[in-house]
């Protein structure tokens, strides 16, 4: 804890000295993040291979590339983001300036997740850098090799006074939070960390996750749907915040969908996925045992089901005959198991989804536009039709949860906003006192009428600044 106090003090001093405020500094730090990824790509692949048995393809596609895209997007738009945003004025402020200024919040704390240990550390870090903050980064200790690599490389590429990586277990974080930060970004399920942040009135961005529903309509391309669902659910051995958590499909397409998904699994991973170089492993025995328990206590295995504890291996598994009361429908899986339930129509699917906690993502596969009500009649952090996960990788879309799946959002401009304070600024002129005198005592009804009229006029012209 003493070293964390030292890091906190160093970053406070660096921020107070204004080291992070210039556009050139921010650009240089973001360029350094890209360079760190490019010059050590093999080491990132090796670290994630050791932590998650993650194939190189998935590491480059889902970890390294999204971070580089975020950095390039931020560097290309930083000048525009940093500029004050003017707002409309009313008659009494015609000679004044009304603007919103984005200023950095200060020192931020970023806790990454173990399921996407590079992306969920460095993407929010880029937002903090772009907004002009100092940051302390805490990668998950479960992805130990990736955490060690971040701890070793970040000091060689980023400013040593403004940015630090600490290796702390999740049980130590409440004490770390007591050191007081200006914003906390956290990915994962740890409610007590949110409570710890609340004790110091620290604003938070929480990416919590949840069970992401996926509706498959009877009018859909079964082959394409199966391929996209199988990839989304079983990449990284199912350890993803944004993977489909369960499928709601029509009874008349269920058998065809299961068969198509079985064919996809054989095509993707061979007859024995355990031998495939494209299929990962679970992060540790704690996760393995929890997923195995959910698998054995829910529904009926239609495909897969094999487990090997010594390798932390669970085969890609599809469950049928699952009921709403099954244990797997009440816990986030974070493993290669996909439950399938049946519904009669899209309205029943919407009713089912709305009975659950709000999800991080909702998915729908259909060639029929009648499923569009799912967008408007359900609430979730994001929505994607006829594919899965891709909406969470787009730098121009905000990514975050709602309700039980989290609060706040990030990616691109939304990351910049998450780590910025939007300060209202009115730069008044000393002139036009012949108008503003109306607000001064002694109060007169005639003056009040004039001010009320001006105020009413402003309300009808949206966006006018109301100060007189």
- One DSSP character per residue, 209-257 reads ----EEEE-SSS-HHHHHHHHHHHHHGGGG--SSS--EEEEEHHHHHHH
Map residue 97 onto helix, strand or coil. strand
Q: Per the structure block, which two tokens stand in for 349? A: 């699917």
Which of 112-121, 312-321, 363-372 has the weakest average pLDDT? 363-372
Higher pLDDT, 208 or 310: 310
Euclidean distance between CA atoms 256 and 247, whole angstroms: 14
86 pLDDT higher than 50: yes
Q: With left for phi above 0 and alpha for psi between -120 and 50, is residue 88 left, alpha or beta?
A: beta
Query: Domains of the chain by range and CATH?
Result: 2-208+410-421 (3.40.605.10), 213-399 (3.40.309.10)
Q: Are 405 and 208 in contact (CB under 8 A)?
A: yes
Residue carrying structure tokens 């299929």: 279
- Burial classification of residue 103, based on how many CB atoms lie within 10 Å of its CB (0-12 exposed, 13-18 middle, 19 or more buried): middle
- Written as six digits, the tokens of 209 are 């996750």
Which residue reads 């495909």 in tokens?
Answer: 303
Residue 120: closest CA among 139, 92, 135, 101: 139
What pLDDT sits at residue 439?
80
Label residues 211-250 b or e (16+ Cβ within 10 Å = b).
Answer: bbbbbbbbebebeebbbbbbebbbbbbbbbbbbbbbbbbb
Q: What is the mean pLDDT of residues 202-216?
A: 91
Give the list of residues 6+ apart from residue 25 with CB closer than 8 angstroms, or none: 19, 159
Please say whether the beta carbons of 60 and 108 come within 8 A: no
> pLDDT digits over 401-428, tens only?
999 999 999 999 999 999 999 999 888 8
pLDDT value of residue 256: 96
Residues contacting residue 416 through CB under 8 Å, at least 6 positions apart: 74, 81, 102, 127, 130, 131
pLDDT of residue 143: 95
Q: Which whole number is the average pLDDT over 342-364? A: 95
Q: Is residue 466 predicted with pLDDT exceeding 70?
A: no
Position 353 scores a pLDDT of 96
How far, in Å, CA of 430 to CA of 435, rounded?
A: 11
Arithmetic mean of pLDDT, 142-146: 96
Average pLDDT over residues 11-33: 96
Residue 308 tokens, joined: 């090997």
- Angstrom CA distances, 161 to 11, 153, 404, stand at 6, 15, 36
Cβ atoms of 1 and 148 within 8 Å: the answer is no
User: pLDDT for 176-204, tens place per residue?
Assistant: 666 789 999 998 776 666 777 777 788 99
Residue 345 main-chain phi, psi, to 5 deg: -165, 180
Q: In the predicted model, what is the mean pLDDT of residues 308-315?
A: 97
* pLDDT given for residue 3 in this prediction: 61
Give percent of the chain with pLDDT exceeding 90: 73
Q: Quick: pLDDT tens for 250-270.
A: 888 999 999 999 999 999 999
pLDDT in tens, 145-177: 999 999 999 999 999 999 999 987 666 666 666
- The answer on pLDDT for 449 being more than 90 is no
User: What is the per-residue pLDDT for 346?
Assistant: 92
pLDDT computed for residue 192 by the predictor: 65
Can you point out the beta strands (E) in 331-408?
337-343, 359-365, 380-385, 399-400, 406-407
Q: Tens of pLDDT along 428-441?
A: 877 666 667 788 88
Measured from the Cβ of residue 134, the count of other Cβ atoms closer than 10 Å reads: 29
Beta pairing partners, 164 = 136
Confidence of residue 467 (pLDDT cuts 50, 70, 90): very low
pLDDT exceeds cutoff 80 at 104: yes
Tokens of 199: 């004790």
User: What pLDDT, on a 0 to 100 scale, did the predictor assign at position 457?
Assistant: 45
Query: In Å, how far are 56, 178, 318, 428 from 64, measured between CA atoms?
Result: 10, 32, 29, 48
> Mean pLDDT over all residues of the chain?
90
Cis peptide before 327 (omega within 30 of 0): no
Nearest to 418 by CA among 140, 192, 109, 170: 109
Per-residue pLDDT band for 295 (boundaries 50, 70, 90) equals very high
Q: CA angle, corner 243, sides to 250 and 184, nearest 5? A: 140
* Confidence at 210, pLDDT banded by 50, 70, 90: confident
Q: Give me the mean pLDDT over the 301-305 stretch.
A: 95
Using CA atoms, how far residue 231 sits from 11, 225, 234, 261, 369, in Å, is: 41, 10, 6, 10, 24
pLDDT score at 110? 94
Q: Which of 218-222, 396-400, 454-458 has the lowest mean pLDDT?
A: 454-458
- pLDDT attached to residue 455: 59
Task: Tell me which residue of 122, 240, 129 sits closest to 188, measured CA to CA.
Answer: 240
Beta bridge partners of 333: none
């Amino acid at each position: 804890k003493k070293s964390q106090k030292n890091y906190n003090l160093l970053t406070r001093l660096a921020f107070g000295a204004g080291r992070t405020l210039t556009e050139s500094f921010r650009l240089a730090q973001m360029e350094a993040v890209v360079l760190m990824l490019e010059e050590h790509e093999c080491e990132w692949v090796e670290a994630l291979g050791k932590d998650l048995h993650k194939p190189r393809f998935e590491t480059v596609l889902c970890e390294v590339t999204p971070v580089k895209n975020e950095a390039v997007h931020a560097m290309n738009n930083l000048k525009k983001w940093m500029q004050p945003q003017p707002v409309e004025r009313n008659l009494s402020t015609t000679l004044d300036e009304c603007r919103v200024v984005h200023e950095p919040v200060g020192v931020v704390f970023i806790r990454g997740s173990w399921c996407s240990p590079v992306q969920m550390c460095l993407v929010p870090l880029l937002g903090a850098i772009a907004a002009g903050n100092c940051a302390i980064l805490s990668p998950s200790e479960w992805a130990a090799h990736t955490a060690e690599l971040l701890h070793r490389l970040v000091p060689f590429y980023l400013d040593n006074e403004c940015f630090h990586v600490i290796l702390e277990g999740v049980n130590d974080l409440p004490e770390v939070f007591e050191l007081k930060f200006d914003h906390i970004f956290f990915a994962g399920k740890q409610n007590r960390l949110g409570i710890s942040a609340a004790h110091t009135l620290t604003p938070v961005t929480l990416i919590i996750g949840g069970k992401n529903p996926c509706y498959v309509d009877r009018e859909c391309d079964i082959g394409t749907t199966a391929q996209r669902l199988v990839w989304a659910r079983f990449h990284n051995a199912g350890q993803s915040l944004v993977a489909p958590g369960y499928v709601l499909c029509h009874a008349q397409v269920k058998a065809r969908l299961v068969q198509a998904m079985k064919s996809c699994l054989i095509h993707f991973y061979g007859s024995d996925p355990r031998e495939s170089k494209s299929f990962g492993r679970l992060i540790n025995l704690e996760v393995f045992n929890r997923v195995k328990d959910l698998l054995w206590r829910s529904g009926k295995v239609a495909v897969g089901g094999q487990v090997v504890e010594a390798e932390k291996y669970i085969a890609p598994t599809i469950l049928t005959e699952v009921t709403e009361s099954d244990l797997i429908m009440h816990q986030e899986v974070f493993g290669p198991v996909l439950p399938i339930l049946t519904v009669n129509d899209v309205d029943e699917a919407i009713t089912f989804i709305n009975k659950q906690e709000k999800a991080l993502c909702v998915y729908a596969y259909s060639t029929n536009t009648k499923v569009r009500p799912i967008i408007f009649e359900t609430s979730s952090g994001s929505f994607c039709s006829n594919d899965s996960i891709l909406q969470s990788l787009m730098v121009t879309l905000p990514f975050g949860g709602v309700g039980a799946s989290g609060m706040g959002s990030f990616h691109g401009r939304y990351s910049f906003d998450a780590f910025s304070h939007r300060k209202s600024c009115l730069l008044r002129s000393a002139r036009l006192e012949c108008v503003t005198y109306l607000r001064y005592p002694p109060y007169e009804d005639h003056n009040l009428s004039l001010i009320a009229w001006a105020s009413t006029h402003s309300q009808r012209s949206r966006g006018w600044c109301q100060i007189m």
